[in-house]
Every structure is written in C-alpha cells, then in structure tokens.
Structure 1
Amino acid sequence: MPQRQSSGSLSRRTFLQAAGTAAAAFPLVSPAWIKAAEAPSERIRVAFIGTGNQGMLLLRNFLKFDLGDVVAVCDVNQGSYGYKEESHFYGREPAQQLVNEHYTKNRTKGTWKSCQAFTDFRDVLALPDVDAVFLVVPDHWHAAMTLLAAAAGKNIYCEKPASLHVVEGREMVNAVRKHKVLFQVGSHERSNPVSQFICEAVQAGRIGEVKKVITKVGYNNKVGPGPGWKPMPVPSTFDYETWLGPAPEAPYHVDRCLYRFRFNYDYSGGQITNFGAHCNDMAQWALGLDQSGPVEVECLDAKFLPEGSLFNTATETRFRCKYANGLELLCESGPEQVQVRFEGTDGWLQTGYKGTTASSPNLLEGLPQKNGTDGLDPHSRHMRAFVTSVKAGKEPAANVEVGHSSATLCHLANVAIRQFPKTGPGHVLKWDPKAERFSNDDDANAMLDVKWREPWQSVRG
C-alpha cells in the first residue's frame, strides 16, 4: 500500500505555534485568490481533506466534471469499510488511487503529475502550490481547520454546517475576513436551480406576504449501541487521536466515527445540523434573513435515547423560531420528502427530495430541473461556483457569513432541545442576533462554545 507522504517544510509543532499568533506568522502570505484573479484561465490546484462518505462523493464529481487539479488528499483513515453503507471502502489511499487512475486515463490539460496522500492536514496546508482546500470532515473539525487554512492563505470550501458551536463560527468569520481568503460553505441547495427558483419566487412576492415557514429534518438513519456499550480496539489503519482532535477524550468505538459521528453532540448536532443546515438555510435565504437570525427559540418537543447510549443527539424534535418582524419558522422531524414549505397570503410553495409542489400550478411556471440544462447535479454545480469564485477573486454566494448564520440557527435550536428534558415546553430563549448571546438564560449561553483539547485550543489565540 502507498505510504504517507509529507512535505517536511513545516513541523506540526511549528505550525501550531505559528497559528496561535497568525497575524505575526503569516503577514506576508498572499491569499491564493489574489494570484488566481491575475490569471483567471489557470486551473486551480486543490486538496481534499476528508475522504469519507461525503468527501468521496465530492471528489468523484470534481474529477468527473474536470473542475481543477486534485494534487493532494488527506484522511486519518488509511482505508476501510463501514461508512454510510457497509460496502463503501473509503479513506486516503482509496482516494489517492481514484485520483491517480482518473488522471492517468483522462489527462488532457494542465501540469498535474501525481496526487499525494497525507494523514495530517497540516502537511497539506504547508504545500505552497495548493490554491484551495475542501474540508469534508466531521463538524468538530471545521473551525480549527478553517482557522489554520485561512492563516495559511488557502481558500476554503467547508462542508455544512459551518461550525459546531456559535462562538467558533464567529471566529471562523473573523479569520476568513482577516486573512482575505474566500470561503464557501457546502450548502449545495444554493446551487440547486429548483431551490433558487423557490427562494426567488418567495422573495419576489409570488405567494404574497409570507406568514409561516415549515422545515423538515429527517429521522436518525443509524442505530448505535445503548447503555453499557464497551470500548473497542482502535484499528491499526486509523489515527483515532487525530480524529478526536479538539473534541473531548473518549474511548474508541466504531460507531463513534466515520459516518456515525453526526449522532453525538461532541462531534455534531444530529439531524438538526445535518438536514437542518439545508432546509433552515433555504428558509432564511428566501426571507432575506440569511445574515441575521431569530430573536426567539423554543423547543416544543424532543425525544432522546436512554441515558448512557453512545448516540446522544435528539432522535425526534420540534422547535420554533420567531424573527424580529414577527414571522415564525417551525422545524420538525419527519420524512425527508419535504425540506421547506412557505405559506403566504396568496398561496404556498414547498420543495423537497421528492419534488416541488404549490397551491396553484401557475406558481410553478418556469420551474427548472435540479440538474439544470448542463446536467450538473447541485453538489457539482456548487463546487463549480466555488472554483469560479476563486479564479475570479469574487465572493461566493454561500459565503462565510451565510454559513455562520445558517449554522447558528441550528445551534440555537440544539441548545433549546438539549435543555428540553429539564425545562419542558414553554421555555422561550431570547436571542440577540447582533451580540450573539441569550438575554435570559446564562446556562444556554454556556452552551454556545466549548473549550478545545490542547494543543488545539491554542489555535484560537
């Protein structure tokens, strides 16, 4: 099997020390987008950090539509089965093989030579010829990787949700703006022609004044071990310590990692941040509130697994958000057919994975296909939008503020949901979108952030 390669140009210790004082360490680094803007016809060189379930999907599509040169891949897993589907064999070596085989067969332009494979993402950030990184890793890694990538002058495509906690999301915004790099969150509905049509129709007033918005998040699609579960030996091909990274120390279990990370609050926010990062993003987008947020959040219902289960995110939930203009958003667990429904004074529109419907056929006149006229699926179109932004040096539509706002809505909901077993319904959290603080609950404010394990906490400065 191919061995891990390292650039050797910057040690991990040195990188962490530098990142802790990023302004001093990287004052003269020219952001890659500035260089790209000078020659927009050049192919950008990218690295994929995280080559699991979603990472391999994006990587395949990036190669299929020839969006640039993949020069490096990175993952803490050398290669294994056991992702979303047991038959999927993913990791850094399968990804490296995929890239090398693709370019060997299909290379027609550019100067690409070979794809390097790394275990540690800091080795990737030390590569001088990488214009952009795709961060397709568990949510608890998004902030730390973004802070370091921004300090290294790399443009960033970060999977949704942008962050794991509100405070670190704001730090991501600050780092991206400070170092003048481009950031696009992976909310690919922003590049779905159908979703664009629906949101633009609502903005244009085609259903009149919006009175209510309903969003749906799917039920949990995996089952983990219950109380009394036992730790498992760490596979020799898996760097579990690095996988944990800034998260709390915890014994290894196969269901803690890979695809199933999303069902543990140490690494993700359950289906609220998984599906919710799409549907709630669409809601705020259509309402023109995608760089703001609600003023009230209330959990109406929540169900959890028994205490001591490995999975601890809510299995079912309903919550409501109220905005300063009086409009309410209701989000609830349910079948995945519907993502978002807008109800107005002159009709309603709804869209989801099973199609788009409306109160009147004329509301759907001009509805495009989700793969458009060029055949690109929303994931690929979203990546192409990012590449185009990097080449032109222009801000992407799903920028860092948008990603932070949509993630924040989901995080506020999870704060209320996690309090629900103690508070029950009727406990309304008052939120200040500008201060990014609750005005009536200090316990809730304490849940807006978490201290990272060292050495990662020092990355935050």
Structure 2
Amino acid sequence: MNNRRDFLKSSAAVAAPLLVSARCFSADAPSNRINVAFIGTGNQGMGMLKRFLAADLGNVLAVCDVNEGSYGYKEPEHFYGRNPAKEMVETDNLRRSKSGTANKCDVYSDFRQVLQREDIDAVVVVVPDHWHRTITVMALEAGKDVYCEKPLTFSVADGRQMIEATRNNNRILQTGSQERSNPVSQFICEAAKAGRIGKLTRIVTKVGYNNKVGPGPGWDAMPVPKTLDYPTWLGPAPVAPYHDDRCLYRFRFNYDYSGGQITNFGAHCNDMAHWGMGIDTGGPVEVECLDAKFLPEGSLFNTATETRFRCKYVSGVELICESGPESVQTRFEGSDGWLQTGYKGTTASNPELLVGLPNKPTGTQDPHSAHLANFIECVKTRKEPRAPVEVGHSSAVLCHIANAMIRLFPETGPGRVAKWDAANETFVGDERANEMLVRQQRDPFSGG
C-alpha cells in the first residue's frame, strides 16, 4: 500500500463531511483525484469509460483488454478494444489540457501488469462473467478498490471468495447494479419496502428475450482474429473452437461464460425485487422453473431463450421472473395497490403513489455515471457503496439458483420444486440441483 493511498484514507477519516461527491474535488488538485484503470474495454466497458471521462471522475492511467481492437461487438459498426480505449482517453486528456499536450494512457493486454502498478488506486472490471472472480480477487489482494460489473459472480462459490477478499483486505467493492443509483428505482423500491402499497404479496420481474441469434447445430469454427488473444479470453473456461459469436457481446448466451438473460437483465430486476422486500442479503426458501425454451442441441448459444421461474420467501412473498419484450421491469404488488418500473417507464395503481417521483437523470448524472461517481466517492471516504459485495453476491445467487432449475427443466419438466437454504447456500436434499451450481473451471493462466 503506497503513501498516497494512506493519505487518501486518513484524509477521508477526518474530513468526511466535505467529501460529498467526486465532483467536489477540483480538477486543479491532482492529489485529490483517484487514479483508475479500466480492465475490459468492450461494449459495456467502452460505455462506462466514456461516462467516466465525461463526468471527470478521476485519472484514467491505463486500459486493458485481450482484444487490440476490432469491429463487431454488440453491433457490426462498434469498434472497441484496448487501442480504441487508449485513443478515447488520450483525446479526452488533450481536450482538457491547458498545455496542448495530452497525458499518456498506458495500454495492456494482461491485467496482471495493471495490478502491479503502485500508482493505480482502483480498477473498473468489465469483462465476461467467467473472469469476474479471478480478476476481482487478485485486484483486491493487490490493494486496489474494485468496481465490478454485474452479475458480480459466475457461480455461488465465487461470491464467498469475493466477499472474503473484500473484507480481509479492507477494500471498497461496488457491484455494477446501476439501478441502485437510479433515483426512480430508489423511489419505487423504497416505497415498496416502506409499505406504501400495504403488505407485499407478489413481485413480477421481466427479462428481455435473447437479442442475438447464433449459429445452429453443425456450425463451423472460424479463424481467430489476429487482434484477439483467444486463449486468454477463454481463461478459466473450457477449451473450445473459436467463433465470432462466442466472444465479444455474445458471450452471455453460452453457459460456459455467463447465464443468459437471467444473469444479464435479471441481475438488475431481481436485485430490485430483493431491495423492495428489504432483504438485500437474503434469499428465497424455494425455487421452481415453470417453463424454459432452448435452441436445438449443438447450437453455439445454449442458454435458455425464454423462461419463467418462481421463488417463494419466508415472508410469503412470491417472486415470478419471466421473459418478455422489456429488457428490465419490476412490479411490486401489495394488499393496497401496485408499483411498477422499468426501462420503458413507471406506473402505479393510484397516481398518488407516484407523488414525489423524481425524473430519471441524464447526461453525466445518468444512473451509470452516478454509480461510478458513488464508487469514486467511496474510494475517497471509505464508506460503503450503494451496491457492496454482499448485495451483489445475493442478487447473483438468486440468478444462479434459478438457472440451476432452468437447466434441469428439459430433464425434469414442470413441478420440480427445490428447497433453498440461503444461510448455507445449498439446495436441501437435492444433489442434482446442487450439481448444477458447480462451475468447473481451469487454471485461467494455462492457455489452450
């Protein structure tokens, strides 16, 4: 731990009331600015980097990605990777420069080199889910504070390691659950938790359908692009032949790297469900898959294309999560009415329930930017962020246990109810379901 970091911590302890937000620190006071590296500069990473720079939240000293730069991320025209990220940072540095010269942004393909740097205080980790634990734990152990995109974990077991690394090293970890920094979501979830709609009885969450189509059975491998370090991209995942649709944005549709839309959009709406129930670090007592549809066996994409699952909580509240046309939507139903919010707007059973509802901020105050700003503020003050590691873990666990039942659905069909022990994070007396929670991973640095 370097002297600069110690100074930041001690200063925050005596001057916390003055540290209201990251924007309170003058750009003319370099000693007050946090030095950050972005690890992962693909679709989401570039978007987060752009917001970080626009809001002037700190100094971006380095960017890291296994892809030098290429087209074809979420959309064909998207050109992302480490070199485009470096160019973005240095262009922004030049724009802000009074001398007419831009500060350099270093570029890396191996995140371990980033973690060795004493001058980097924090890292923003925006990589495929199967790399989250390894990079995050190594960063925490290297003394870095971490912003890690949602879903925080790739498996239930990953979360315990991330919690221990965060707490044992006295680090800040912010989960990229940006709805926690959305004032509209804050209003709705807090209203449900406060009993504004009476006793909460049912929550319905929506996750979007798969928004990309991959190759079906019999697909052919493709040559690895020269810009991509594919063995490192695979890392802890099984060795597999390369195809464009396996990587970049589309990784989320293969269980080797993610959990489909359940862990993608579901990490937001189901996190909000727990928030509105007031059980940020709790879980259900039972879970059941009601329906699931999959592509033909042998397709490159193997996550469920459509699904519907049910959870029951000790309070009696029932949670239904289902695929639908909206990417994210959460509806709270109570004995005295309902509240609903999502990407397409906010409604209620009675307009009076929405009195005081704030507007969703835009620009440098949008939820993504506000969530990054909250992280930087907490790096300075050492306060807990809005989505700390335990909250990110709990929300991810809900998605993982749902996926366990979804993956068993073709084998068992409807009517299979599994009891869940949230305290011990295991299915009760159901070894087949517990088997589905285990994610076999290789040594991430073995290549292949």
Q: TM-score range by the shorter chain?
A: over 0.9
**1:97 maps to what in 2?**
87
1:299 is aligned to 289
1:180 matches 2:152? no
Q: Which amino acid aligns with 1:335?
A: P
2:357 matched to which residue of 1? Answer: 367
1:31–1:155 Cα contact (<8 Å) kept: no
Q: Which residue number corresponds to residue 267 of structure 2?
A: 277
Residues 62-77 of structure 1: matches in 2 within 5 Å?
62-77=52-67
Alignment of 1:223-234 (within 5 A): 223-234=213-224
Superposed counterparts of 1:71-150, under 5 Å: 71-107=61-97, 113-150=103-140
Match of 1:322 among 282, 295, 312: 312
1:8 equivalent in structure 2: none
Moved more, 33-42 or 60-69: 33-42
**In structure 1, how many angstroms separate the alpha carbons of the residues matched to 2:217 and 2:104?**
47
Report deviation, 1:292.
0.8
- Per the TM alignment, residue 114 of structure 1 is displaced from its structure 2 partner at its CA by 1.4
What SS does structure 2 have at the residue aligned with 1:227?
coil
CA change 1:269–1:33 in 2 (3 A) is farther
Equivalent in 201, 208, 214 of residue 204 of structure 2:
214
Does the 8 Å contact 1:194/1:368 carry over to 2? Answer: yes
5+ residue gaps, structure 2, are 13-24, 26-31
Partner of 1:240: 230
Q: 1:163 to 1:335 in 2, by over 3 A?
A: same
Pairing partner for 1:433 from 411, 415, 422: 422
* Correspondence for 1:333: 323
2:22 corresponding residue in structure 1: none
Give 2:86's aligned amino acid: Q
Stretch deviating more after TM superposition (413-422 or 174-183):
174-183
What is the letter of the counterpart of residue 377 of structure 1?
D
Which digits, 9 at most, give the CA deviation of each residue in 1:247-297, with x for residues without a partner? 111111110000000000000000000000000000001111110111101
Change (3 A) 1:341 1:229: same
Query: How far, CA to CA, are the matches of 1:381 and 1:231 in structure 2?
Result: 41
User: Are 2:302 and 1:312 aligned?
Assistant: yes
Q: Does 1:394 align with 2:383?
A: yes
Alignment partner, residue 29 of structure 2: none
Task: Tell me which of 185, 190, 198 is aligned to 1:200.
Answer: 190
The more displaced of 186-195 and 199-208 is 199-208
Question: What is the alpha-carbon distance in structure 1 between the residues aligned to residue 421 and residue 70 of structure 2?
Answer: 45
Consecutive unaligned residues of structure 1, counting only runs of 5 or more, are 1-28
Distance change in 2, residues 1:108/1:382 (3 Å): farther
SS at match of 1:339: strand
Query: Structure 1 residue aligned with 2:146, among 143, 156, 170?
Result: 156
Give me the TM-score of the superposition, normalised by structure 2: 0.92
Q: Partner amino acid for 1:380? A: S
Secondary structure of 1:429's counterpart equals strand
Of 398, 401, 426, 1:412 maps to: 401
Q: Is contact 1:33–1:181 with CA below 8 Å preserved after alignment?
A: no
d(CA) in 1 for partners of 2:236, 2:222: 21
Cα displacement string for residues 136-192 of structure 1 (whole angstroms, at most 9, x for unaligned residues): 000000011111111101000000000111011111111111111110000000000
Given that 2:137 and 2:165 are in contact with CA atoms closer than 8 Å, whether structure 1 keeps it comes out as yes
Q: C-alpha separation between the residues in 1 aligned to 2:298 and 2:118? A: 46
Distance 1:267 1:32, change over 3 A: farther
User: What is the CA deviation profile of residues 306-349 of structure 1, one whole-angstrom value per residue up to 9, with x for unaligned ones?
Assistant: 00000000000000011111111000000116610000111100
For 1:267 and 1:68, how far apart are their aligned partners in 2? Answer: 31
- 8 Å contact 2:132–2:152 — kept in the other structure? yes
Superposition deviation, residue 440 in structure 1 = 2.2
1:376 aligns with 2:365: yes
Summarize the Cα distance change of 1:253–1:35 in structure 2 as closer, same or farther, 3 Å threshold: farther
1:356 — aligned with what?
346
C-alpha distance in 1, partners of 2:399/2:2?
34
Change (3 A) 1:277 1:365: same
Deviation string 1:25-67 (CA, Å, 9 cap, x unpaired) is: xxxx479865422345510000000000000000001000100
Q: 1:424 aligns with which of 389, 407, 413?
A: 413
Q: How many angstroms apart in 2 are the aligned matches of 1:253 and 1:432?
A: 39
Q: How far is 1:450 from its partner?
A: 2.2
**34 and 413 in structure 1: CA distance in 2 versus 1, 3 angstrom threshold:** farther
- Whether the 8 Å CA contact 2:151–2:392 is kept in 1: the answer is yes
Percent identity between the two aligned chains: 64
Question: Which contiguous aligned blocks of 4+ residues in structure 1 show a shift greater than 6 angstroms?
Answer: 30-33
Determine if the alignment matches structure 1 residue 37 to structure 2 residue 9: yes
What letter is aligned with 1:398?
Answer: A
Tell me the secondary structure at the aligned position of residue 53 of structure 2.
helix
Query: Residue 18 of structure 1 aligns with which residue?
Result: none
Residue 3 of structure 1 corresponds to none
Q: Deviations over 1:205-254 (max 9, x none)?
A: 11010110000000000000000001111111100000001111111111
Paired with 1:389 and 1:93, the residues of 2 have a C-alpha distance of 29
Name the CA shift for 1:123/1:358 in 2 (closer, same or farther; >3 Å): same
